[in-house]
Structure 1
Amino acid sequence: MIGKMGDKMKKELVKWLILMSFVILSSTILKAEPLQLIYDGKVHNYTLPPITLYINGEMLQTQVMPAIQLEERVLVPAKEVFEKMGASVEWNESEKSVYICKREMLIVLKMNSQEAWVNGIRYTLDMPAKNVNDKMMIPLRFISEAMGYDVIWENGPRNAFILMPEELSFPEEPSFVEQEEVVLLPGAITALTGIYYDALIGAITVDKPSNLCAEDLVCMDDPIDRKWIVDFKADYSAVLKEGVYELNTGPLKKVSIKTDVTTCMIIETQTVQALTIYEMNEKLYFNLVTPREKYDKLILIDPGHGGSAPGTSGGGIVEKNQTLLYGMDFFRLLEEDPSIKVYTTRSQDIDVSLEERAQLANEIMPDLFISIHANAITGTAQRQESVKGTETYYYDNPNDLRGKAFAEMVQQNLVSTFNMVDRKAKADTGYVVLKRTNMPGVIIEVGFLTNSEDRNKMMQPDFSARLATVLYETVKAYYAEGYK
C-alpha cells in the first residue's frame, strides 16, 4: 500500500511529468538556420541549433529574437519571457534599463550590466544583460536564481523549460497571504491622498493622475544639500496636500509637498542619491539608488575654494572666481554628453570645506574627482614673474595607478594646448581632497595668477571654454584607454 506522498516528492513528480510531456512534444531536433547577431558592437554569425523555450507547458514563439546560447550561457528575450509570465515590462531609454513588475516583485535590469535589482536587492548575473539585435537578452539562470522559478535545460534537443512556482504548489490547508509591506508616510491618510512609501520595493509611490506622465516631470538634483526637487508642472494640490513628512528609512530622510504655481515634491536623503522614475499600473514610482548603481560613467568636478575662502590672487584676479568659471564651463560641457553623469561640489560662490568635498565624493563614488585651482607664489615682483606654468597633482598610491595616469594625461594636454611651462604631474599625499577620497583624483593648478604671462592666457575670453574642451577630451581618452 502506497502511503501519503510528501509535498517535496509530489512537486518533483509533477515536474517530471511536465518535463516528459515536453520531451514528447519536442522529440525532433530542428535544423539550425544561419542567424546574424549584432552585439558588443560587432556582427556575429550564429550557427548553433535553435533553442525551444517553454513557459508552464506552452511553447513561447518569439517573433523577433529567439533564445540563443553564448559562452555556454542560454540567453532569452526579457520582454517576451516576462510578459508571458504575466508581468508588466517597461523600457527606460534614457537609463537603458528595463523595469519588470509582477504583483509584489520589481525587477530592474540595465543593458550591458552584470547587476540586476529585485525588490531593492542586488544580484550579480553570470553574464551581462546584452543588447542583441536591439533586444534585451538575459541569462536564463537569472530567472531561476533571482525569482525562485524552476528552470530545466535539456541539452539534447536544446529545450529550456521555465516552471512558475505556483504551478508546483500543493496547499493542503487554506493559505493566508500576508498584506504587502507598505509604509505610509506619517499623516498621509489624513493629509496626503495617493502618495506613500512602499518598503517592499523601496520606492515613493504616487497614484498617477490621468493626465500626468513620467515624461512630464522636471527633476532637479541638489547633491550638496542631498535632495531632489520633482516639479509636476501643474497644480495638483487637490490630490497632493502641502506638508512635510518625516520618514528616516533607508536612504530617505523626509518628503515635502509644496504648491505655488505648480506642485513640487522635495525628496531629502541621508546621502547623495540618484532618482529613477517610472510609471506602471496607474502609479508613478520614485526609486532612490546610489549614483554608482544608476550611472555607468561618473565625474565629480571640484571648483576650488569659494565663499569666505577666496584662495590665491594676482593682478586683481581672485582664484575662487576663476575656478568657478572654469569648473562650470567644464560641468556644462560634460552635461551635454548623455553617457556621462557629472556632479559638482559647488555651482556658486559658497563655502564648502575640504572635509565636505571629500565626503561628497565618497558618497557619489565617481570614476574621477577633478579639482580645479589657480596657482600663486609670494615674494618680489621679479620672483613672481620668474615662476609660471601648469602642474597637476595626484595621490601617490602604488596599488592604484589610475590617478597618476589621468594626471599625466591632463598635464600633457594642457601644456600642449596652451603652451604652458610644464611643471609636471606630481605625486602627493598631503592634500585632503586626494587622501580622504576613495577614487582616483587630481588637483589641477592651471597657471600662476602672480605671473603676467600665465594670467593673460587665463583671462582670454575663450580660455575657459577651451580649457573645458581639453578636460572633456581628456576624460573621454581616459575612458577609451579602459580606465574606470
Structure 2
Amino acid sequence: MRIITALFSMLLLSLLLVPMMSYATESQPLQLFLDGKQLTTEVAPLINKDNKVMVPVRIIAESLGSKVQWEEKIRKVTVNKSNISIQMFIDKKEVYVNNKAVQLDTAPSIVDGNAMLPVRFISEQMGIKVTWDDLTRSVFLFNQESDNKGTTTAPTPVDNISKDKPDNKTTDKPSIKPDDKTIEKPSSKPDGKATDKPSEKLGADGSKSVDSSKDKPSAQSPEPNSSNAGTKPVIANPNQPPTYTTTSVEAGAKKPEAVTVIQSISMEGDQFVVKTSGGKAIPDVTTTANPNRVQIDIPNGQLAAGLKLNSNGEGTITEKNAAVSQIRYLLFSKESSIVRIIIDLNKKIDFKDSASSSSTQLVWSLSPAKERYTVVIDPGHGGKDGGTVSFTGRHEKEFVLGVGTKVYNLLSKEPKIEAILTRKNDTFVELPGRVSIANDAKADLFVSIHGNSILGKEEVNGLETYYYTEQSLPFAIQMHQKLLKASGFEDRKVKQEDFHVIKNTTMPSLLLELGFLSNKAQENTMFQETFQNQVAAAIVAGIKQQLRLD
C-alpha cells in the first residue's frame, strides 16, 4: 500500500511540474534577428491567440529601407518600398498589396503602440527568409533581395508553432556569406624590399607599373539554407583524399571548391582550435549576447569520422573552462555543406582571430571582454613621399590623409574604440615606424589606406584589399564587401601580399587600395568629400564588425 501511495504521489508531482516547466519556457520573450543582427524593439515578437508568430512591422520594414506611414483616424499602416506598396488595417484580415486584396490568416494588431503582422506575410511580401529557433525562442529574418543568384530551400515555417512538434525546431540562425571572393597568394619578390605600395613594381626604366593581368575567377560562396532536424550529416573518411562538391558547372563557370574536412574541435588553454584538412577553410564568425554564444560557419565542410553525432545530428563537447560551458557541432546545411560550430559561453568574452591560424587549423583566442579597443589607422606616404601621382597631377598622400582623418574622426566617436593615426599631417613616417606605432600600442587592428595607380593604362580601375597573415583573412573579406558597396567600384578582389606594414604588425592588419588615381573618372570621384565620407563610414563599419561591436 505504501508503495502504491508513493507512486501516486510521484505521478501527481510530475503532473504539476510539467505545466510549470512549459510556462517557464513559454514566458521567455521571443528575440528578433535581421541578417544576423539582433533588433531592439519596443515590443518583442509574440505568439498570438491563433498560434501565429507576430512581429513588429515598422522596425523590420525600416531596417530594409522601406517607408512606413500610420494613419490614426482609419488605423491604417502603409509600407512602401521600390515596386511594392502594402496597405493594412488594424484588426482586419484583408490587406492590399499593390492595390490587390490579400487575405491573412490572422489580423494585424496593435501592441503597446506597435503594429504587429504575422511573420508569414512578412516573408512572402518583403522577400524575407524566416527561420525559428525553438531552443532560444528566436525569429531569424534574412533579406534575400541581394542574394538571389541561386535557389534557396524553403525556410522552416514559423507562423504556426506547435509546442509538441519537434520538426518545427531548427538549429541556430544561418549566416550570410560574402557574395564573391578570390584569395590570391603573394607574388614572389626577388629583391625582398619592404614596400608601402602593394600593386607597384619597378619597370626597366625605373617607372612604377602594376601587373594588369586579370584576376583569377572567384569562387562563389555557398548559400546557406534552412536546417532541418532530420538532416543527415556527411561524414568524411579520413583515409580518403579530399573530394570536391558535386555542383553542376556550366561551360566557363567557376570550379567547385575543395571540401574542408573538420578533423578535430577543442579548447587548448585559452585558444579554440579547429584542425582541418583538404580545402582551405574561410570561416564566418558571429557572436550573440543573451545568450552569450559564438557561432562559426565553415562552408564546403565535412565532419571527420571521429566527430560523432547523436540521433538529432548534433555533437557535443563538454569543456572544463571558466568561459565555455559546451561546444556543439553539426552539419547545418546539407545542400551547401555548411559545418556549424556553436560555442556556448558562461560570460561575455573577446573572441579574436589568432596568428596561430594556418591552412590546416583555425585558431581563435579567448580573453576577458575589453572595455576599449585600440585601432591604428595608417594614411600611407606623406612628407617627402608623395605616393603615386593622379591623372591630373595630384598626390596620393593628400587623398589618403583625407580619408584616414575621416576614419579617425568617426572612430573617435565610438565609446569602445581608441583610435590612433600614424600621421595627422603632411609628415613622413618610415615603414618600420608605422609598424612600431601599432605594435607598441598593442593595437587590436591596423588599417593602412592607399590609392592605386598604373602608368600608361588609364582604363584600369577598381578596388583591392590586401592581407598577409591568416588571422587577417576574415577581416579582409568583411572589409572588402563593405568597401565595394560603399564605393561602387569594380571588384579587384581580396589578395595576399607580404607588404611591410601588414607583414610585421602582430594584429589583424589590412592594406586598402581604394581605387585607381590614374583613372580619370575614378580620380575625380576619389577626391570628392561625399565619396570619402562614404568610404570612411564603410571602413569604420568593417572595423566594428571585426571587433564584434556592430
Calculate the TM-score normalised by the size of structure 2: 0.33
Larger gyration radius, structure 1 or structure 2: 1
Calculate the TM-score normalised by the size of structure 1: 0.37
Q: Which has the higher contact order (CA 8 A, sep 6+)?
A: 2
Question: Greater helix share, 1 or 2?
Answer: 1
